[in-house]
Amino acid sequence: MLSSAEAGGPRAALAAALRAAGLPPSVYWIEEVHQPAPLPPDFLYLRRTPGGAAGWETGGYERGRWTPYAHHADESAACAHLRHLLLG
Task: With a cut of 60, say whether residue 71 has pLDDT above it.
Answer: yes
- The model's pTM is 0.89
Compute the average pLDDT of residues 68-80: 97
Domain enclosing residue 55, as ranges: 4-87
The whole-angstrom distance between residue 50's C-alpha and the CA centroid of its chain comes to 14
| Average per-residue pLDDT for the chain | 92
Judge if the upstream peptide bond of residue 10 is cis by omega within 30 degrees of 0: no
Runs of H (alpha helix) within the chain: 4-7, 9-20, 75-87
User: Does residue 6 carry a pLDDT above 70?
Assistant: no
Other residues' Cβ atoms within 10 Å of the Cβ of residue 70: 13
pLDDT digits (tens, 9 = 90+) for 36-58: 999 999 999 999 999 888 999 99
26 in helix, strand or coil? helix
Indicate the SS3 state at residue 68.
strand
Residue 7 has a pLDDT of: 58
How many independent structural domains does the chain possess?
1
